[in-house]
Chains A and B, each alone.
Chain A
Amino acid sequence: MSEVVKIKGLKTGLQLSFAKGASFEDIQADLQNKLESGDKFFIRGTTVFVQKGYFSEERNEKLRRMFHRHGMLFSDELKNPAMLPISKIPKRETQSQTQKTLIVNKTVRGGQEIRAEGSVMIFGNVNPGAQVIAGGNIDIRGTCRGSVHAGAFGDTTACVVADRLMPMQIQIADILARSPDDLEMPDHAEKASIKDGRIVIDAVSR
Protein backbone atom coordinates (compact mmCIF):
# COMPACT_ATOMS: atom_id res chain seq x y z
CA MET A 1 0.00 0.00 0.00
CA SER A 2 1.49 3.33 -0.98
CA GLU A 3 1.03 6.53 1.03
CA VAL A 4 -2.62 6.93 1.92
CA VAL A 5 -2.09 10.24 3.67
CA LYS A 6 0.30 12.84 2.37
CA ILE A 7 1.56 15.59 4.63
CA LYS A 8 2.67 18.95 3.43
CA GLY A 9 4.24 21.62 5.59
CA LEU A 10 2.70 25.08 5.68
CA LYS A 11 3.77 28.17 7.56
CA THR A 12 0.79 27.76 9.83
CA GLY A 13 0.75 24.01 10.26
CA LEU A 14 0.40 20.85 8.25
CA GLN A 15 -1.86 20.16 5.30
CA LEU A 16 -3.17 16.66 4.69
CA SER A 17 -4.07 15.29 1.31
CA PHE A 18 -5.25 11.78 0.57
CA ALA A 19 -4.65 9.13 -2.06
CA LYS A 20 -7.46 8.76 -4.61
CA GLY A 21 -9.96 6.09 -3.68
CA ALA A 22 -8.72 5.63 -0.13
CA SER A 23 -11.55 4.82 2.25
CA PHE A 24 -12.10 6.82 5.40
CA GLU A 25 -11.20 3.79 7.48
CA ASP A 26 -7.86 3.49 5.68
CA ILE A 27 -7.16 7.16 6.19
CA GLN A 28 -8.05 6.95 9.83
CA ALA A 29 -5.83 3.91 10.35
CA ASP A 30 -2.90 5.50 8.51
CA LEU A 31 -3.13 8.71 10.52
CA GLN A 32 -3.41 6.77 13.74
CA ASN A 33 -0.27 4.87 12.74
CA LYS A 34 1.60 8.03 11.91
CA LEU A 35 0.57 9.70 15.15
CA GLU A 36 1.59 6.75 17.25
CA SER A 37 4.91 6.29 15.48
CA GLY A 38 5.92 9.62 16.99
CA ASP A 39 6.53 11.25 13.65
CA LYS A 40 8.76 14.28 14.10
CA PHE A 41 6.31 16.70 12.55
CA PHE A 42 3.34 15.96 14.74
CA ILE A 43 4.34 18.42 17.43
CA ARG A 44 1.89 19.42 20.14
CA GLY A 45 0.11 22.63 19.30
CA THR A 46 0.42 22.21 15.53
CA THR A 47 -2.68 22.85 13.45
CA VAL A 48 -3.60 20.18 10.90
CA PHE A 49 -5.66 21.24 7.89
CA VAL A 50 -7.82 19.28 5.42
CA GLN A 51 -9.57 20.67 2.42
CA LYS A 52 -13.00 22.12 3.17
CA GLY A 53 -15.81 19.76 2.29
CA TYR A 54 -13.56 16.76 1.70
CA PHE A 55 -15.14 14.89 4.58
CA SER A 56 -18.58 15.06 6.12
CA GLU A 57 -18.96 16.99 9.37
CA GLU A 58 -19.27 13.71 11.26
CA ARG A 59 -15.97 12.42 9.89
CA ASN A 60 -14.26 15.74 10.52
CA GLU A 61 -15.38 15.44 14.12
CA LYS A 62 -13.77 12.00 14.36
CA LEU A 63 -10.48 13.30 13.01
CA ARG A 64 -10.66 16.34 15.26
CA ARG A 65 -10.97 14.10 18.31
CA MET A 66 -8.09 11.94 17.16
CA PHE A 67 -5.77 14.92 16.77
CA HIS A 68 -6.96 16.44 20.04
CA ARG A 69 -5.92 13.30 21.85
CA HIS A 70 -2.39 13.98 20.58
CA GLY A 71 -2.51 17.61 21.58
CA MET A 72 -2.97 19.02 18.06
CA LEU A 73 -5.57 21.27 16.51
CA PHE A 74 -7.68 20.27 13.54
CA SER A 75 -9.24 22.57 11.00
CA ASP A 76 -11.13 22.05 7.74
CA GLU A 77 -10.51 25.53 6.43
CA LEU A 78 -7.17 26.89 5.46
CA LYS A 79 -7.14 30.41 6.81
CA ASN A 80 -4.97 33.32 5.97
CA PRO A 81 -1.88 32.90 8.14
CA ALA A 82 -2.25 36.44 9.48
CA MET A 83 -5.60 35.55 11.01
CA LEU A 84 -4.26 32.75 13.13
CA PRO A 85 -3.32 33.64 16.68
CA ILE A 86 0.48 33.82 17.06
CA SER A 87 0.56 31.09 19.69
CA LYS A 88 -0.79 28.57 17.22
CA ILE A 89 1.90 29.18 14.67
CA PRO A 90 4.72 26.76 15.39
CA LYS A 91 7.81 28.70 16.35
CA ARG A 92 10.77 28.31 14.01
CA GLU A 93 14.27 29.70 13.79
CA THR A 94 14.44 33.16 12.22
CA GLN A 95 13.42 32.63 8.66
CA SER A 96 13.39 35.12 5.88
CA GLN A 97 9.88 35.45 4.56
CA THR A 98 10.89 35.70 0.94
CA GLN A 99 12.85 32.45 0.76
CA LYS A 100 11.93 28.95 1.68
CA THR A 101 15.48 28.14 2.72
CA LEU A 102 16.41 28.50 6.36
CA ILE A 103 19.90 29.91 6.79
CA VAL A 104 21.80 29.03 9.94
CA ASN A 105 24.93 31.07 10.51
CA LYS A 106 26.51 29.25 13.40
CA THR A 107 27.84 25.90 14.52
CA VAL A 108 25.03 23.55 15.52
CA ARG A 109 26.30 21.96 18.72
CA GLY A 110 25.48 18.70 20.49
CA GLY A 111 21.94 18.70 21.89
CA GLN A 112 20.75 21.45 19.56
CA GLU A 113 18.15 20.88 16.89
CA ILE A 114 17.31 22.70 13.69
CA ARG A 115 13.87 22.06 12.16
CA ALA A 116 12.58 23.57 8.99
CA GLU A 117 9.66 22.91 6.70
CA GLY A 118 11.69 23.84 3.64
CA SER A 119 15.40 23.44 2.96
CA VAL A 120 18.20 24.30 5.35
CA MET A 121 21.58 25.80 4.67
CA ILE A 122 24.12 25.79 7.47
CA PHE A 123 27.28 27.90 7.40
CA GLY A 124 29.18 26.10 10.14
CA ASN A 125 29.63 22.61 11.47
CA VAL A 126 26.96 20.21 12.64
CA ASN A 127 28.58 18.62 15.67
CA PRO A 128 28.02 15.11 17.02
CA GLY A 129 24.76 14.91 18.96
CA ALA A 130 23.13 17.71 16.95
CA GLN A 131 20.06 17.14 14.76
CA VAL A 132 18.95 18.79 11.57
CA ILE A 133 15.49 17.94 10.24
CA ALA A 134 14.23 19.53 7.03
CA GLY A 135 11.28 19.03 4.74
CA GLY A 136 13.58 19.78 1.81
CA ASN A 137 17.33 19.55 1.25
CA ILE A 138 20.12 20.10 3.73
CA ASP A 139 23.29 21.90 2.68
CA ILE A 140 26.13 22.14 5.19
CA ARG A 141 29.07 24.41 4.44
CA GLY A 142 31.27 22.74 7.02
CA THR A 143 31.68 19.34 8.64
CA CYS A 144 28.59 17.29 9.35
CA ARG A 145 29.03 14.94 12.30
CA GLY A 146 25.49 14.99 13.73
CA SER A 147 22.27 13.36 12.57
CA VAL A 148 20.55 14.73 9.48
CA HIS A 149 17.07 14.06 8.10
CA ALA A 150 16.18 15.51 4.72
CA GLY A 151 12.81 15.18 2.98
CA ALA A 152 11.16 14.68 6.35
CA PHE A 153 7.63 14.85 4.82
CA GLY A 154 8.44 11.98 2.54
CA ASP A 155 10.25 13.69 -0.35
CA THR A 156 12.50 10.96 -1.71
CA THR A 157 14.26 13.35 -4.09
CA ALA A 158 15.72 15.37 -1.22
CA CYS A 159 19.47 15.29 -0.62
CA VAL A 160 22.09 16.15 1.95
CA VAL A 161 25.29 17.92 0.90
CA ALA A 162 28.24 18.74 3.15
CA ASP A 163 31.85 19.83 2.72
CA ARG A 164 32.83 16.89 4.89
CA LEU A 165 29.96 14.47 5.19
CA MET A 166 30.51 12.19 8.15
CA PRO A 167 27.15 12.08 9.97
CA MET A 168 26.23 9.63 12.65
CA GLN A 169 22.97 8.84 10.93
CA ILE A 170 21.49 10.09 7.74
CA GLN A 171 17.82 9.85 6.86
CA ILE A 172 16.13 10.82 3.62
CA ALA A 173 12.35 10.51 3.57
CA ASP A 174 11.88 7.23 5.45
CA ILE A 175 15.15 5.56 4.52
CA LEU A 176 17.81 5.53 7.18
CA ALA A 177 21.53 4.85 6.94
CA ARG A 178 24.17 4.67 9.62
CA SER A 179 27.75 5.71 8.99
CA PRO A 180 30.41 2.98 9.04
CA ASP A 181 32.18 2.55 12.38
CA ASP A 182 35.60 3.44 10.99
CA LEU A 183 34.74 6.56 9.05
CA GLU A 184 37.62 8.59 7.66
CA MET A 185 37.42 12.30 7.03
CA PRO A 186 36.63 12.88 3.35
CA ASP A 187 38.67 15.57 1.59
CA HIS A 188 35.93 16.70 -0.80
CA ALA A 189 32.28 17.67 -0.62
CA GLU A 190 29.80 14.81 -0.84
CA LYS A 191 26.10 14.40 -1.51
CA ALA A 192 23.76 11.77 -0.12
CA SER A 193 20.61 10.92 -2.02
CA ILE A 194 18.30 8.00 -2.65
CA LYS A 195 19.02 5.66 -5.54
CA ASP A 196 17.11 2.40 -6.00
CA GLY A 197 15.66 2.61 -2.51
CA ARG A 198 19.04 3.05 -0.79
CA ILE A 199 21.02 6.02 0.38
CA VAL A 200 24.15 6.48 -1.73
CA ILE A 201 26.96 8.99 -1.36
CA ASP A 202 28.60 10.69 -4.36
CA ALA A 203 31.32 13.26 -4.65
CA VAL A 204 30.16 16.70 -5.76
CA SER A 205 32.16 19.68 -6.86
CA ARG A 206 31.30 23.17 -5.72
Chain B
Amino acid sequence: MSQIIVITSGKGGVGKTTTTANIGVGLAMRGNKVALIDTDTGLRNLDLLLGLENRIMYDLIDVTSGRVPYNKALVRHKKHDSLYLLPTSQVKDKSAVNPDDLIKLCDDMKKDFDFIIIDCPAGIEQGFKTAIAAADMAIVVTMPEISAVRDADKIIGELGRADKENVKLIVNRIRPQMVEKGDMLDMEDINEILSIDCIGQVPDDEAVVMATNRGEPVIAMKDSIAGKAYLNIVGRLCGESIPFFKPPKEGFFAKLKRLFSMLF
Protein backbone atom coordinates (compact mmCIF):
# COMPACT_ATOMS: atom_id res chain seq x y z
CA MET B 1 0.00 0.00 0.00
CA SER B 2 1.69 3.17 -1.03
CA GLN B 3 1.04 6.47 0.61
CA ILE B 4 0.95 9.92 -0.95
CA ILE B 5 1.91 12.71 1.45
CA VAL B 6 1.90 16.43 0.74
CA ILE B 7 4.09 18.76 2.81
CA THR B 8 2.53 22.22 3.01
CA SER B 9 2.47 25.33 5.21
CA GLY B 10 0.90 28.38 3.63
CA LYS B 11 3.66 30.67 4.77
CA GLY B 12 7.01 30.56 3.01
CA GLY B 13 10.33 29.89 4.69
CA VAL B 14 9.08 27.66 7.51
CA GLY B 15 10.90 24.60 6.21
CA LYS B 16 8.61 22.67 3.85
CA THR B 17 11.40 21.72 1.49
CA THR B 18 13.80 20.86 4.33
CA THR B 19 11.11 18.68 5.90
CA THR B 20 10.38 16.97 2.57
CA ALA B 21 14.06 16.18 1.99
CA ASN B 22 14.58 14.87 5.51
CA ILE B 23 11.45 12.72 5.65
CA GLY B 24 12.33 11.37 2.19
CA VAL B 25 15.85 10.42 3.22
CA GLY B 26 14.62 9.01 6.53
CA LEU B 27 12.02 6.77 4.90
CA ALA B 28 14.59 5.62 2.34
CA MET B 29 17.08 4.81 5.13
CA ARG B 30 14.46 2.41 6.48
CA GLY B 31 14.43 0.64 3.15
CA ASN B 32 11.26 2.13 1.66
CA LYS B 33 11.12 3.07 -1.98
CA VAL B 34 10.43 6.81 -1.95
CA ALA B 35 9.70 9.39 -4.66
CA LEU B 36 9.88 13.10 -3.90
CA ILE B 37 7.96 15.40 -6.24
CA ASP B 38 8.84 19.07 -6.25
CA THR B 39 5.79 21.14 -7.27
CA ASP B 40 7.33 24.53 -6.54
CA THR B 41 7.65 25.23 -10.26
CA GLY B 42 9.79 28.27 -11.00
CA LEU B 43 11.34 28.31 -7.52
CA ARG B 44 12.66 24.81 -7.24
CA ASN B 45 14.94 24.04 -4.31
CA LEU B 46 14.46 20.41 -3.40
CA ASP B 47 17.19 19.28 -5.81
CA LEU B 48 19.67 21.63 -4.09
CA LEU B 49 18.91 20.24 -0.62
CA LEU B 50 19.51 16.74 -1.91
CA GLY B 51 22.62 17.73 -3.85
CA LEU B 52 21.17 16.52 -7.13
CA GLU B 53 21.01 19.69 -9.20
CA ASN B 54 23.61 18.63 -11.74
CA ARG B 55 21.85 15.34 -12.54
CA ILE B 56 18.54 16.77 -13.71
CA MET B 57 17.70 15.93 -17.32
CA TYR B 58 13.92 16.22 -17.53
CA ASP B 59 11.36 17.72 -15.19
CA LEU B 60 7.75 17.48 -13.97
CA ILE B 61 6.47 19.59 -16.87
CA ASP B 62 8.11 17.26 -19.41
CA VAL B 63 6.32 14.37 -17.72
CA THR B 64 2.85 15.94 -17.34
CA SER B 65 2.92 17.24 -20.90
CA GLY B 66 3.67 13.72 -22.11
CA ARG B 67 7.12 14.42 -23.57
CA VAL B 68 8.84 11.71 -21.50
CA PRO B 69 7.66 8.90 -19.19
CA TYR B 70 8.14 9.70 -15.52
CA ASN B 71 10.87 7.14 -14.96
CA LYS B 72 13.09 9.05 -17.37
CA ALA B 73 12.74 12.22 -15.34
CA LEU B 74 13.38 10.59 -11.95
CA VAL B 75 16.78 11.29 -10.44
CA ARG B 76 18.17 8.61 -8.15
CA HIS B 77 19.83 9.85 -4.97
CA LYS B 78 23.58 9.31 -4.92
CA LYS B 79 23.70 7.75 -1.43
CA HIS B 80 20.27 6.26 -0.91
CA ASP B 81 19.42 3.87 -3.72
CA SER B 82 15.71 3.74 -2.98
CA LEU B 83 15.19 7.52 -3.00
CA TYR B 84 14.18 9.28 -6.20
CA LEU B 85 13.49 12.92 -7.01
CA LEU B 86 11.10 14.20 -9.65
CA PRO B 87 12.29 17.77 -10.00
CA THR B 88 10.21 20.57 -11.47
CA SER B 89 11.01 23.20 -14.04
CA GLN B 90 12.85 26.36 -13.14
CA VAL B 91 11.70 28.26 -16.24
CA LYS B 92 7.94 27.58 -16.30
CA ASP B 93 5.44 28.74 -13.69
CA LYS B 94 2.74 27.15 -11.53
CA SER B 95 0.10 27.24 -14.27
CA ALA B 96 2.08 24.65 -16.23
CA VAL B 97 0.71 21.78 -14.10
CA ASN B 98 -2.92 21.28 -13.13
CA PRO B 99 -4.42 19.11 -10.38
CA ASP B 100 -5.64 16.40 -12.77
CA ASP B 101 -2.14 16.00 -14.24
CA LEU B 102 -0.69 15.38 -10.81
CA ILE B 103 -3.44 12.97 -9.75
CA LYS B 104 -2.82 10.94 -12.91
CA LEU B 105 0.94 10.99 -12.40
CA CYS B 106 0.68 9.85 -8.77
CA ASP B 107 -1.71 7.08 -9.80
CA ASP B 108 0.87 5.84 -12.28
CA MET B 109 3.74 6.09 -9.81
CA LYS B 110 1.87 4.44 -6.94
CA LYS B 111 2.66 0.93 -8.10
CA ASP B 112 6.41 1.57 -8.04
CA PHE B 113 6.80 3.36 -4.72
CA ASP B 114 6.00 2.89 -1.03
CA PHE B 115 5.86 6.63 -0.42
CA ILE B 116 5.31 9.58 -2.72
CA ILE B 117 6.07 12.87 -1.00
CA ILE B 118 4.97 16.11 -2.62
CA ASP B 119 6.71 19.38 -1.76
CA CYS B 120 4.06 22.10 -1.96
CA PRO B 121 4.77 25.74 -2.85
CA ALA B 122 3.91 28.55 -0.40
CA GLY B 123 0.56 30.28 -0.79
CA ILE B 124 -3.00 29.05 -1.31
CA GLU B 125 -3.26 29.62 -5.05
CA GLN B 126 -3.12 27.21 -7.95
CA GLY B 127 0.25 25.72 -7.01
CA PHE B 128 -1.15 24.70 -3.62
CA LYS B 129 -4.33 23.29 -5.12
CA THR B 130 -2.31 21.24 -7.59
CA ALA B 131 0.06 19.93 -4.93
CA ILE B 132 -2.66 18.72 -2.54
CA ALA B 133 -4.92 17.20 -5.19
CA ALA B 134 -3.40 13.73 -5.17
CA ALA B 135 -2.47 13.43 -1.50
CA ASP B 136 -4.12 11.11 0.99
CA MET B 137 -2.26 12.67 3.91
CA ALA B 138 -1.08 16.21 4.51
CA ILE B 139 1.68 17.40 6.82
CA VAL B 140 1.41 21.05 7.78
CA VAL B 141 4.73 22.63 8.77
CA THR B 142 4.68 25.69 10.99
CA MET B 143 6.97 27.69 13.26
CA PRO B 144 6.36 28.98 16.78
CA GLU B 145 5.52 32.39 15.44
CA ILE B 146 2.14 34.05 15.27
CA SER B 147 2.07 34.63 11.50
CA ALA B 148 3.17 31.07 10.70
CA VAL B 149 0.53 29.62 13.06
CA ARG B 150 -2.16 31.86 11.55
CA ASP B 151 -1.27 30.68 8.04
CA ALA B 152 -1.18 27.05 9.18
CA ASP B 153 -4.70 27.48 10.56
CA LYS B 154 -5.88 28.85 7.23
CA ILE B 155 -4.19 25.99 5.37
CA ILE B 156 -5.85 23.38 7.60
CA GLY B 157 -9.18 25.01 6.77
CA GLU B 158 -8.37 24.91 3.05
CA LEU B 159 -7.35 21.24 3.32
CA GLY B 160 -10.66 20.53 5.04
CA ARG B 161 -12.49 22.23 2.21
CA ALA B 162 -10.67 19.95 -0.25
CA ASP B 163 -11.80 16.93 1.85
CA LYS B 164 -8.32 16.18 3.15
CA GLU B 165 -9.03 15.13 6.70
CA ASN B 166 -5.82 13.25 7.51
CA VAL B 167 -3.70 16.24 8.54
CA LYS B 168 -0.62 16.13 10.78
CA LEU B 169 1.45 18.94 12.22
CA ILE B 170 5.21 19.54 12.44
CA VAL B 171 6.48 22.51 14.40
CA ASN B 172 9.85 23.55 13.09
CA ARG B 173 12.62 25.84 14.38
CA ILE B 174 11.70 25.78 18.04
CA ARG B 175 14.17 27.62 20.27
CA PRO B 176 13.84 26.00 23.68
CA GLN B 177 15.59 28.82 25.54
CA MET B 178 13.16 31.39 24.15
CA VAL B 179 10.17 29.19 24.89
CA GLU B 180 11.37 28.74 28.45
CA LYS B 181 11.60 32.50 28.93
CA GLY B 182 8.12 32.91 27.49
CA ASP B 183 9.38 34.86 24.46
CA MET B 184 8.19 32.24 21.99
CA LEU B 185 4.89 30.40 21.53
CA ASP B 186 5.08 27.01 23.21
CA MET B 187 3.56 23.75 22.00
CA GLU B 188 0.56 24.20 24.23
CA ASP B 189 -0.33 27.55 22.63
CA ILE B 190 0.07 26.10 19.15
CA ASN B 191 -1.98 22.98 19.87
CA GLU B 192 -4.71 25.13 21.44
CA ILE B 193 -5.22 27.01 18.19
CA LEU B 194 -4.52 24.37 15.54
CA SER B 195 -5.94 21.36 17.42
CA ILE B 196 -4.56 18.69 15.08
CA ASP B 197 -2.28 15.73 15.76
CA CYS B 198 1.37 16.82 16.10
CA ILE B 199 4.00 14.36 14.82
CA GLY B 200 7.13 16.44 15.20
CA GLN B 201 8.85 19.20 17.12
CA VAL B 202 12.08 20.20 15.46
CA PRO B 203 14.49 22.50 17.32
CA ASP B 204 16.27 25.32 15.54
CA ASP B 205 19.70 23.94 14.72
CA GLU B 206 22.69 25.43 12.88
CA ALA B 207 23.36 21.99 11.46
CA VAL B 208 20.28 22.42 9.23
CA VAL B 209 21.87 25.39 7.45
CA MET B 210 25.16 23.52 7.06
CA ALA B 211 23.35 20.46 5.76
CA THR B 212 21.33 22.54 3.28
CA ASN B 213 24.43 24.18 1.86
CA ARG B 214 26.19 20.85 1.61
CA GLY B 215 23.28 19.13 -0.11
CA GLU B 216 23.00 16.41 2.53
CA PRO B 217 19.83 16.47 4.64
CA VAL B 218 20.45 16.89 8.37
CA ILE B 219 18.76 13.58 9.21
CA ALA B 220 21.95 11.84 8.09
CA MET B 221 24.03 13.77 10.65
CA LYS B 222 23.75 11.54 13.68
CA ASP B 223 24.87 14.08 16.29
CA SER B 224 22.51 16.92 15.38
CA ILE B 225 19.38 17.48 17.47
CA ALA B 226 17.31 18.48 14.44
CA GLY B 227 18.43 15.28 12.71
CA LYS B 228 17.21 13.27 15.71
CA ALA B 229 13.87 15.07 15.64
CA TYR B 230 13.46 14.14 11.97
CA LEU B 231 14.34 10.51 12.72
CA ASN B 232 11.57 10.51 15.30
CA ILE B 233 9.12 12.02 12.79
CA VAL B 234 9.90 9.26 10.31
CA GLY B 235 9.41 6.69 13.07
CA ARG B 236 6.00 8.17 13.93
CA LEU B 237 5.02 8.19 10.25
CA CYS B 238 5.80 4.47 10.18
CA GLY B 239 3.39 3.95 13.04
CA GLU B 240 5.79 3.81 15.99
CA SER B 241 4.89 5.62 19.15
CA ILE B 242 7.87 7.75 20.11
CA PRO B 243 7.65 10.22 22.98
CA PHE B 244 8.53 13.82 22.26
CA PHE B 245 12.09 14.50 23.14
CA LYS B 246 12.70 17.33 25.56
CA PRO B 247 15.65 19.40 24.44
CA PRO B 248 18.36 19.40 27.13
CA LYS B 249 18.47 22.49 29.27
CA GLU B 250 21.54 24.60 28.90
CA GLY B 251 24.02 23.04 31.32
CA PHE B 252 26.27 24.86 33.73
CA PHE B 253 29.35 24.55 31.52
CA ALA B 254 27.56 25.71 28.42
CA LYS B 255 26.33 28.74 30.34
CA LEU B 256 29.84 29.43 31.60
CA LYS B 257 31.23 29.09 28.11
CA ARG B 258 28.64 31.49 26.77
CA LEU B 259 29.41 33.95 29.52
CA PHE B 260 33.10 33.77 28.67
CA SER B 261 32.53 34.20 24.98
CA MET B 262 30.42 37.26 25.81
CA LEU B 263 33.16 38.72 27.96
CA PHE B 264 36.05 38.13 25.63
Contact = CB atoms under 8 A, between A and B. Distances in A.
Query: For B153, B156, B195, which residue has the most chain A Cβ atoms within 10 angstroms?
Result: B153
B175 interface: no
A125 interface: yes
Contact of B193 (A106, A111, A112, A125): A125
Contact of B153 (A106, A127, A143): A127
Contacts, number: 28
A106 B196 CA distance: 12
A191 to B, nearest CB: 22
Contacts of B158: 111
A141 to B, nearest CB: 14
A119 B120 CA distance: 39
A110 interface: yes
B145 to A, nearest CB: 14
Interface string B144-164: 000000100110111010000
A111 B195 CA distance: 16
B124 to A, nearest CB: 9
A112 B161 CA distance: 10
Interface residues of B, number: 10
Interface in A111-133: 111-112, 125, 127-129
A109 interface: yes
Contacts of B157: 109-112
A190 to B, nearest CB: 18
Contacts of A15: none
Contacts of A110: 150, 153-154, 157
Contacts of A145: 193
Interface of B: 150, 153-154, 156-158, 160, 192-193, 195
Given A125-B192, A128-B193, 11 more contacts: A107-B195, A109-B156, A109-B157, A110-B154, A111-B157, A125-B193, A125-B195, A127-B153, A128-B150, A129-B150, A129-B153
8 contacts: A109-B153, A110-B153, A111-B154, A111-B158, A112-B157, A127-B193, A128-B153, A145-B193
